Amino acid sequence: MARIQLPLVGLLEEAILPGEERTFAVPAIDTVALVALSRAAREAKLPAEILAVTITSSVELPSLVTGRWGTTCRIVSVDATTLTLAGLRRGRLVAARGKEPPYTADVDTPDEDESTPDTKALLSAAHLLFAALDGGAVPEPLDFHAPLRTALAAAARAVSGKAEFAELTQHPLEEGIRRVALLLAARAEGRNAAPELEAMLRQAMAKPEVPKALRQKLWSQIVELQKRLDLHDPAIAEEGDDLARLQRKLSQAGMPKLARETAKRELRLLRGMQSNHHDYSTYTNHLDFMARLPWQPDPERPIDLAAVRAALDRGHHGLEKPKRRVAEYLAVRKLGGENASMILCLAGPPGVGKTTIARAMAEALGRPFARVALGGVHDESEIRGHRLSYVAASAGRILRAIVEAGSASALVLLDEIDKIGEGRARSPMAALLEVLDPEQNPHFQDNFLGVPYDLSHVLFVATANDTSQIHPTLLDRLELCEIEGYTAVEKTAILRTHLLDRLRAEIGLPKTPAIEDDAVTVLIDGYTREAGVRQLRHALATVLRARALALVTRREQGEADAAGEEQAPPITQAEVEAALGPPRFTKEKALGALPVGVTTGLSVGPGGGSVLFVEAATMPGRGELVSTGNLGDVLKESVRAAFSHVRAEMSRYGVEQGRLAATDVHVHVPEASLAKDGPSAGTAIFAALVSALSGRPAPADTALSGELSLSGRVLAVGGIRAKLIAAERAGLARVVIPEANRADVPEDIHLDVTFVRTIDEVYRALFPS
Q: Are 690 and 763 in contact (CB under 8 A)?
A: yes
Q: Are 52 and 71 in contact (CB under 8 A)?
A: yes
**Virtual CA dihedral for 61, 66, 70, 73, nearest 10 degrees?**
60
| Closest by CA position to 92, among listed 148, 165, 29, 19 | 165
Return the exposure string of 206-235: e unless at least 16 CB atoms fall within 10 Å of the residue's CB, then b. Answer: eeeebeeebbbbbbbbbbbbbbbbebbbbb
Q: How far is it, in rounded angstroms, from Cα 195 to Cα 210?
A: 19
Residues 6+ apart with CB under 8 A from 352: 319, 483, 484, 485, 486, 531, 532, 533, 608
User: In DSSP terms, which residues pair with 97 in a beta bridge?
Assistant: 104
Q: Are 259 and 454 in contact (CB under 8 A)?
A: no
User: In DSSP terms, which residues pair with 7 in a beta bridge?
Assistant: 104
Strand-pair category, 734-738 with 702-704: parallel
149: amino acid identity, one letter: R
Q: How far is CA 270 from the centre of its chain?
A: 35
Cα distances from 165 to residues 159, 193, 761, in angstroms, run 7, 18, 84
Residue 366 falls in which region: left (phi positive, over 0), alpha (psi -120 to 50) or beta? left
* HEC per residue, 596-665: CCEEEEEEEECCEEEEEEEEEEEEECCCCEEEECCECHHHHHHHHHHHHHHHHCCHHHCCCCCCHHHEEE
Whether 723 is catalytic: yes
**Dihedral (CA of 538, 539, 540, 544) sign:** positive
Return the exposure string of 116-127: e unless at least 16 CB atoms fall within 10 Å of the residue's CB, then b. Answer: eeebbebbebbb
Q: How far is it, in rounded angstroms, from Cα 324 to Cα 330?
A: 10
Q: Are 387 and 429 in contact (CB under 8 A)?
A: no
Q: Among residues 217, 491, 676, 723, which one is catalytic?
A: 723
Q: Where are the alpha helices (DSSP H) in 667-732?
A: 682-694, 720-729
DSSP code of residue 66 = T
Q: How far is it, in rounded angstroms, from Cα 185 to Cα 200?
A: 17
Helix axes 242-251, 257-271, angle to 10 degrees: 170
User: In DSSP terms, which residues pair with 91 in a beta bridge?
Assistant: 70
Q: How far is it, in rounded angstroms, from Cα 432 to Cα 366?
A: 26
Q: Are 121 and 204 in contact (CB under 8 A)?
A: no
Whether 680 is catalytic: yes
Backbone angles phi, psi at 402, to 5 degrees: -65, -40
Q: Among residues 381, 627, 680, 691, which one is catalytic?
A: 680
Q: Which helix (H) or strand (E) holds 398?
A: helix 397-405
User: Would you please indicate which residues are annotated as catalytic (active-site) residues?
Assistant: 680, 723
